[in-house]
């Protein structure tokens, strides 16, 4: 990927500024791309700015800088960077990328314009036609969306375009056409079970239950580990038939725990927690995975057996020490009034090492912070988080305050003043935290009424 981008990124100003080391620019571009792929947008931003300082006429460097802004929800800055890129070079690729970022940011009218500019410059750009179709679909302009995606297909008839065409037809309630498009996708990729799921879901909308059942069975035959296929099948069968069918699948494939997952889900929906418990135990016997222990833990929570739930979650953590696993355990400990033990779970998540350190969320610490807040008030949480800030990157700490503030807002009796204080603390650590800014704006709006 780097080799494809580097020649473009280096082609503008080195001839004008011969004193610049080519190796220096190459190193910066590689560092920026690596940071961006690792979601370290702060580092990517500063590195692309260094590239631009050395090569002020490098349109693609401005576009990639725009990507870092959009990835941080700093949309106005992203737009400004892309507009500067386009002043330097009217490139179909830059217009296409710009259209995608605008669509993702729900600036749909501007996205349409960008895609159309890309198509003017390169009429056979299938990506641009496809992106234009997706944007029209988001606008619920289905005839335009269908026409644009069909144009993409005429240039490059790949399965993903047919899949998108099918989804657009279904959104427009043209179910027969949708199924036909999905079947075109299947013809190109007959081994992809999720395409059969799309057909089955559309058949259900038409009331063709028997055909949907047969299609889900085709999907399961292709991929016996597809949770979605088993769940879709179970939801259109009546309860006894769903139990019998899933039990049969489990017998036919005794080393496969997925039918048992779904069977446990079916029992849980009927609040038959005892039967679900037995099924999850069977799943663990087949595969003692973190997911199976979590399912067992969730079952114990439903039965209000919190100690057993905590033990199951601890088993899951041994196998997969991730933040969301610790969060489940912390929630149970909080219900048991074991706040100190829950706080220890928060500390454990800080110790988790990952190559995506910049992207960590610390949801466990948000959950524990909210429990602390309910018990001891805002000052206790600030003191707790001040200690955590010694070990957590300011950007991540800012996000943690946002998560905590959001929990206050979504509580039964939200204290808006305390939520506002949490978002202020977030902005102290990261003044560009878009979620914090949006929450503050929303709170100020509600205070006017």
User: Could you read off the pLDDT of 387-404 as tens digits, one per residue?
Assistant: 999 999 898 999 999 999
Tokens in use for 446? 């509600």
Q: Which two tokens stand for residue 226?
A: 């597809």
How does DSSP assign 273-338, residue by residue? HHHHHHHHHHHHHH---HHHHHHHHHHHHHTT-HHHHHHHHHHHHHH---HHHHHHHHHHHHHTT-
Flag whether 414 is in a domain. yes
More confident residue, 107 or 6: 107
C-alpha count within 13 angstroms, C-beta hemisphere, residue 284: 18
Burial zone of 252 (CB within 10 Å; 0-12 exposed, 13-18 middle, 19+ buried): exposed
74 SS3 class: coil
Residues of the chain above pLDDT 70, percent: 94
C-alpha 244/C-alpha 179 separation (Å) is 29
For residues 374, 379, 382, 386, the Cα torsion angle rounded to the nearest 10 degrees is -130
pLDDT digits (tens, 9 = 90+) for 147-203: 999 999 999 999 999 999 999 999 999 999 999 999 999 999 999 999 999 999 999
Q: What is the pLDDT of residue 19?
A: 52
Does 439 map to a domain?
A: yes
**Rounded to an integer, what is the distance from CA 85 to the centroid of its chain?**
28
Would you say residue 427 lies in a domain? yes
CATH for 387: 1.25.40
pLDDT for the residue 20: 57
- Mean predicted confidence (pLDDT) in 116-136: 98
Q: Is residue 396 within 8 Å of residue 358, measured between CB atoms?
A: yes
User: What pLDDT sits at residue 99?
Assistant: 98
Give the list of residues 6+ apart from residue 284 with CB closer than 8 angstroms, or none. Answer: 292, 293, 296
Evaluate whether residue 157 is within a structural domain.
Answer: no
Residue 449 lies in a domain: yes
CA angle 340, 386, 359 (to 5 degrees): 90
Mean pLDDT value across the chain? 93
Q: How many domains are there within the chain?
A: 1
Q: Which domain holds residue 440?
A: 358-449
Residue 366 domain flag: yes
Per-residue model confidence (pLDDT) at position 447: 67
Q: Per-residue confidence at 42, pLDDT binned at 50, 70, 90?
A: confident
| 146 is a domain residue | no
Indicate the helix (H) or strand (E) that contains 386: helix 378-388
313 falls within a domain? no
């Amino acid at each position: 990927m780097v080799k494809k981008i580097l020649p473009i990124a280096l082609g503008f100003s080195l001839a004008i500024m011969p004193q610049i080391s080519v190796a220096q620019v190459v190193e910066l571009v590689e560092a920026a791309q690596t940071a961006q792929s690792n979601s370290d947008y702060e580092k990517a931003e500063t590195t692309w700015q260094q590239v631009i300082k050395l090569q002020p006429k490098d349109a693609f460097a401005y576009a990639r800088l725009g990507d870092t802004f959009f990835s941080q929800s700093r949309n106005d800055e992203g737009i400004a960077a892309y507009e500067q890129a386009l002043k330097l070079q009217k490139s179909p690729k830059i217009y296409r990328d710009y259209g995608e970022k605008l669509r993702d940011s729900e600036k749909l009218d501007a996205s349409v314009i960008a895609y159309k500019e890309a198509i003017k410059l390169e009429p056979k750009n299938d990506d641009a036609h496809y992106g234009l179709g997706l944007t029209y679909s988001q606008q619920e302009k289905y005839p335009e969306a269908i026409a644009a995606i069909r144009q993409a297909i005429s240039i490059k008839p790949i399965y993903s375009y047919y899949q998108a065409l099918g989804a657009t037809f279904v959104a427009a309630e043209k179910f027969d056409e949708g199924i036909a498009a999905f079947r075109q996708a299947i013809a190109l990729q007959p081994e992809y079970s999720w395409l059969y799921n799309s057909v089955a879901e559309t058949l259900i909308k038409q009331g063709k239950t028997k055909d949907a059942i047969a299609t889900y069975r085709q999907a399961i035959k292709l991929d016996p580990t597809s949770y979605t296929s088993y769940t879709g099948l179970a939801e259109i069968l009546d309860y006894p038939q769903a139990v019998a069918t899933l039990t049969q699948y489990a017998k036919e494939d005794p080393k496969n725990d997925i039918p048992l997952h779904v069977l446990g889900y079916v029992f849980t929906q009927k609040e038959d927690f005892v039967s679900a418990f037995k099924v999850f135990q069977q799943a663990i016997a087949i595969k003692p995975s973190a997911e199976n222990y979590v399912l067992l833990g969730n079952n114990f929570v439903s039965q209000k057996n919190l100690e057993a739930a905590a033990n199951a979650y601890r088993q899951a953590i041994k196998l997969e020490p991730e933040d969301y696993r610790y969060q489940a355990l912390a929630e149970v400990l909080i219900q048991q009034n074991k706040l100190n033990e829950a706080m220890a779970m928060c500390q454990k998540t800080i110790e988790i090492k990952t190559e995506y350190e910049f992207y960590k969320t610390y949801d466990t610490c948000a959950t524990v912070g909210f429990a602390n807040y309910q018990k001891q008030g805002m000052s206790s949480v600030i003191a707790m988080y001040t200690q955590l800030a010694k070990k957590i990157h300011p950007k991540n700490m800012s996000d943690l305050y946002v998560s905590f503030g959001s929990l206050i807002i979504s509580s039964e009796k939200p204290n808006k003043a305390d939520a506002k204080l949490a978002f202020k603390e977030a902005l102290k650590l990261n003044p560009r935290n878009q979620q914090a800014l949006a929450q503050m704006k929303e709170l100020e709006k509600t205070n006017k009424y």
